[in-house]
A and B are shown apart, each in its own frame.
Chain A
Amino acid sequence: MDNNKIIFNVCQDSEFFGRADEIERICCYGASAAKPAYGIYLTGKKWLGKTEILKRVYHRLFWEQNKVAPIYYRFKDIFCNIEDFADDFLKDFIRQYLAFLKKKPAIATEGISANKLEQLLADMELPDLSRFLALHREGMKYGDCVAIFKNAINMPHQTAVLCNTPVFLILDDFNLTANICLHEGGPGILKEYMKTLMSGSVSYLITGYTKGLFEGELFPGSIRVMELAGLDEEASTGLMARMGERYNVACDSEILALAARQLEGNPVYLKSIIEAAKRKGRGLLTIKDFVDLYVEELAEGNMGFSLGSALSIKSLNALRILHACVKSKNGISEEEMVEKAALDGGEIRRFISRLCGLGLLDISCGLIKWVEDKVAEDYICYLYEAEVKRRPTAEAKTKIMREKLKESFYLEGVRISGEIKEELPTLLKMFNGQAVPKILFRNQDFLAKYSGNTYKKEDYVKEGEKVSLPQIIGCSNSMKYECADKGLTIIVGYGFNSSGCYNDENEVAWIVGVKDAPAAAHIGDVENFTRQCGAIMGDIKTAAVTRWIICKEGFTGEALKRLSIDGIYTTDIVQLRILRSIVEDNGSATQRHNMKGLASLKEYEIILPMSTRAELVAAKAVEEIGINMGFDNNAVAQIKTALVEACINAFEHSQVKNGKVYCKVIAGDDRIVINIKNQGKDFDPTFKHETSDVVKLVEPSKRGWGIELMKHLMDEVRFEKVHGGTRLVMAKYIKRNGEDVYERKN
């Protein structure tokens, strides 16, 4: 589509989510009549909505102010010579400038010819702009590429000076200037163009895919990078749910959240999945629904088609290089690449240079890294299976589908039952300061005491010696420590002692060797495990390390003896079941409580405009919800008061004119949870106010007691950093007769 038509063609509001902050910031920058000391570089992966943001900025500046003329220009990958670019840029610029002065978009969009433009300029008494067209024609006549180029890129600055209306220049896909050359085979115009932008009087915004676009070309502070990430989960699911509703696609909110994570909040992918569901008459109700649609879209749908043309992979060798980089998470050196792709160094360098130019790869510290998104990664893997490995389409699709199902299952947080090594990370993460019988980590003692008897869960209470479990915060089962050939899988849990102090002294690691094979752990396993532990301990440098072997089928006598001497914990499948049961029952009251609370959730969403007493609408809604849930009158009043404070805070901190405040109320069996989010700067959750003396309250800053009030009125108040601001989350539990209140403050 023509550049000037694109800019007036914005997508529907219902399909545009979560970019209010960026738009506001760019508009503030662009509407400033005096040129700021810096330009903006808006960068982000493909299809994150950069152009849509620019269109909305353009719209606002075009219609809502008269001081600065917004000019949008999108570089095209078809240009390779300066004449074509200059001709296109010059005409688009003049059309948009005149359209802005006259407030008539048609002047920009109707493709007015050069002759008519000159006529219009004369009518509007802007002869200075005609001069640029004349200079351009003269340059073309004599084939003077340098004059043509200079005339085009200096025009915004000259126009601002001569016509008294400054310009805000928006240059989309600026990275493509690297492909436009002044002379055949010469360097691209990027460097020269940047110099002109920086020295001129015009404020500007440029976009591109890679952060390293200007390496070595800029003065510090001359460009401010605005890195665009995917939409956050809330905005992504909101977008999909809204589209699903419109297209009658049945959606499950959990599956939408999963899709949002898999698609990294990329609006184009999110929309493609819903559109594909609509086309095929399917819903998004299970993981398989999503994965089916996703893989079909990648292989034969719009997503695959778009990725194919964007990635522009023209040979199997390019595909091999991309695949090698995708598979190597930490990057790959050129030497390794030569070996893998069976190509000579020169050829590899040529391919890599082209792929870097497309924004797919990046070279940093000698390592070539894949820099595109996960969806493009899956596309490369699919293409590799189909084209390089020559697998039939159905087989290649099935392979990707299998991988995605497993990954989605993991992402959804569903526990895969079966092997210990798969269950163990979940169990480790449930460790949270519980005291459990030491006998569960001493296989020899356990067998001596309970062999042939039944160990009842209640028995653990009577067991004397206890092990205080740490708080495990994360696990790794890196391939680096894998010794599967020897029958053990190593999993490392990282965390802190349960003292509540998060410092170096309290840092702990649990190194766990798991043997799922149907054979007892023998001395070879023990030696191998001890060796692996040595290597891991060298890597992690944590002072307190606990070593533990779990073997489904128990241990040989020799192994147990050695393990006991070395002080390594030993657990078989029976002990593990008991341990798990205790940890689940005893220690994770929080999780049980959460699960109970999550059993039957009802969600309500309220969007408040920033107007007087709008918070009462939310308060009224929460009153109804609270009464229905069984809260007593005073508790309902407390929730309402806390909510009112939260809304006022959100209004106060919103940076967006006419912004909105989003309230989500989640009603569970035992609690009400309220999320409040605005479009703006962060709350200050660290604010503390003395509340004991009224004298202090009458000091100049009378505001700011809201957070203190909320903390007193609700059972939980916390702040979560989210994309584009801070979300306040508050919870209050129902106190029923005869039921203890959940101990929250643990």
Chain B
Amino acid sequence: MSGKIKNFKELEGCVVIYTDNYLNDIEGGKLEDECDVFLNGGKRKIVIDFANTDLVNSIGISILVGIMEKVKKRNGILFFSSLKKVNRDIFNILGLTKHISIFQTEEEAIGKMLAHE
């Protein structure tokens, strides 16, 4: 099921997905597919880590919004981590930060996620 997915880490109870350097329509589409695979496989706790991502374009953001909605519909939890300042700023400009928790590091996000009931 998750054989096609390369950039992820599966932990007890949660999964961390690592995004590419440039989050555009194509990479965003792949990320959405990955999330679908995990959600369909019963995972409900997802961390998306942006440590490798320098650039996010507006199409990529619209896809992230779609993912946020899907996770919410499945009663899951989604956290973002390791955002570069510029990306955090644009998430803020477009109002995403009001609807999702963002953590400085992947570890911080995982810790919070695992503590979450």
A residues whose Cβ falls under 8 Å from a Cβ of B:
612-613, 615-616, 619, 634, 637-638, 640-641, 644-645, 648, 691-694, 696-698, 702-706, 708-709, 712-713
- Kindly state whether residue B103 has any CB partner on chain A within 8 Å: no
Shortest Cβ gap from B24 to chain A (Å):
7
B residues whose Cβ falls under 8 Å from a Cβ of A:
22, 24, 26, 54-59, 61-62, 65-66, 68-69, 84-86, 89-90, 93-96, 98-99
Contacts of A698 in B (CB 8 A): 65-66, 69
Contacts of B65 in A (CB 8 A): 694, 697-698, 702
Q: Bound state CA distance, A697 and B62, in angstroms? A: 7
8 more contacts with CB within 8 A, not counting A696-B95, A698-B66, A703-B58, are A613-B22, A613-B24, A641-B55, A641-B86, A693-B98, A694-B65, A709-B58, A713-B90
Q: Bound state CA distance, A702 and B24, in angstroms? A: 13
Contacts of A638 in B (CB 8 A): 86, 89
Inter-chain contact B85/A697, CB cutoff 8 Å: no
Q: Bound state CA distance, A640 and B86, in angstroms? A: 10
Query: Known contacts being A637-B54, A645-B57, A705-B58, is A694 close to B93, with CB within 8 Å?
Result: no
Shortest Cβ gap from B66 to chain A (Å):
7
Contacts of B95 in A (CB 8 A): 691-694, 696-697
Inter-chain contact A694/B57, CB cutoff 8 Å: no
Partner of A691, one of B62, B66, B85, B93: B93
Q: Bound state CA distance, A713 and B56, in angstroms? A: 13
Contacts of B22 in A (CB 8 A): 613, 616
Q: Bound state CA distance, A466 and B11, in angstroms? A: 73
Contacts of B98 in A (CB 8 A): 693-694
Contacts of B85 in A (CB 8 A): 634, 637
Q: Can you list 13 contacts pairing A with B, beta carbon distance less than 8 Å?
A: A615-B57, A616-B55, A619-B55, A637-B55, A641-B56, A648-B58, A694-B94, A702-B62, A705-B58, A706-B58, A709-B58, A709-B90, A709-B93
Inter-chain contact B59/A703, CB cutoff 8 Å: yes
Q: Bound state CA distance, A712 and B90, in angstroms? A: 8
Q: Bound state CA distance, A634 and B57, in angstroms? A: 16
Partner of A694, one of B56, B84, B99: B99
Give the 3 A-B residue pairs with the shortest CB-CB distance, closest first.
Answer: A702-B62, A637-B86, A705-B58
Inter-chain contact A703/B62, CB cutoff 8 Å: yes
Shortest Cβ gap from B27 to chain A (Å):
10
Query: Secondary structure at chain A's binding surface: helix, strand, loop or mixed?
Result: helix
Query: Known contacts being A613-B24, A638-B86, is A644 close to B55, with CB within 8 Å?
Result: yes
Contacts of B90 in A (CB 8 A): 641, 709, 712-713
Output the residue of A613, A694, A713 with the most chain B CB within 10 A: A694
Shortest Cβ gap from A607 to chain B (Å):
20
Shortest Cβ gap from B58 to chain A (Å):
4
Contacts of A615 in B (CB 8 A): 57
Contacts of A692 in B (CB 8 A): 95
Shortest Cβ gap from B83 to chain A (Å):
11
Shortest Cβ gap from A649 to chain B (Å):
9
Inter-chain contact B57/A612, CB cutoff 8 Å: no
Query: Known contacts being A648-B59, A703-B58, is A637 close to B94, with CB within 8 Å?
Result: no
Which residue of chain A lies nearest to B61 when distances are taken between CB atoms in the complex?
A: A705
Contacts of A613 in B (CB 8 A): 22, 24
Which residue of chain B lies nearest to A643 when distances are taken between CB atoms in the complex?
A: B55
Inter-chain contact B94/A697, CB cutoff 8 Å: yes
Shortest Cβ gap from B67 to chain A (Å):
11
Output the residue of B56, B69, B93 with the most chain A CB within 10 A: B93
Shortest Cβ gap from B4 to chain A (Å):
20
Contacts of A640 in B (CB 8 A): 54-55
Shortest Cβ gap from A97 to chain B (Å):
46
Contacts of A644 in B (CB 8 A): 55, 57
Shortest Cβ gap from B89 to chain A (Å):
8
Contacts of A706 in B (CB 8 A): 57-58
Which residue of chain A lies nearest to B95 when distances are taken between CB atoms in the complex?
A: A694
Q: Bound state CA distance, A616 and B96, in angstroms? A: 24
Inter-chain contact A705/B94, CB cutoff 8 Å: yes
Q: Bound state CA distance, A735 and B22, in angstroms? A: 27
Contacts of B68 in A (CB 8 A): 694
Q: Bound state CA distance, A574 and B54, in angstroms? A: 58
Q: Bound state CA distance, A698 and B55, in angstroms? A: 21
Inter-chain contact B58/A645, CB cutoff 8 Å: yes
Contacts of B89 in A (CB 8 A): 638, 712-713
Q: Bound state CA distance, A493 and B98, in angstroms? A: 52
Contacts of A705 in B (CB 8 A): 58, 61-62, 94
Q: Bound state CA distance, A713 and B87, in angstroms? A: 11
Output the residue of B55, B58, B65, B89 with the most chain A CB within 10 A: B58
Which residue of chain B lies nearest to A637 when distances are taken between CB atoms in the complex?
A: B86
Shortest Cβ gap from A410 to chain B (Å):
44
Inter-chain contact A648/B93, CB cutoff 8 Å: no
Q: Bound state CA distance, A702 and B99, in angstroms? A: 17
Shortest Cβ gap from A231 to chain B (Å):
33
Which residue of chain A lies nearest to B98 when distances are taken between CB atoms in the complex?
A: A694
Shortest Cβ gap from B28 to chain A (Å):
11
Partner of A709, one of B26, B69, B94: B94
Inter-chain contact A691/B94, CB cutoff 8 Å: yes
Q: Bound state CA distance, A702 and B64, in angstroms? A: 11
Q: Bound state CA distance, A708 and B96, in angstroms? A: 14
Which residue of chain B lies nearest to A644 when distances are taken between CB atoms in the complex?
A: B57
Partner of B93, one of A702, A703, A708: A708
Shortest Cβ gap from B32 to chain A (Å):
12
Shortest Cβ gap from B87 to chain A (Å):
8
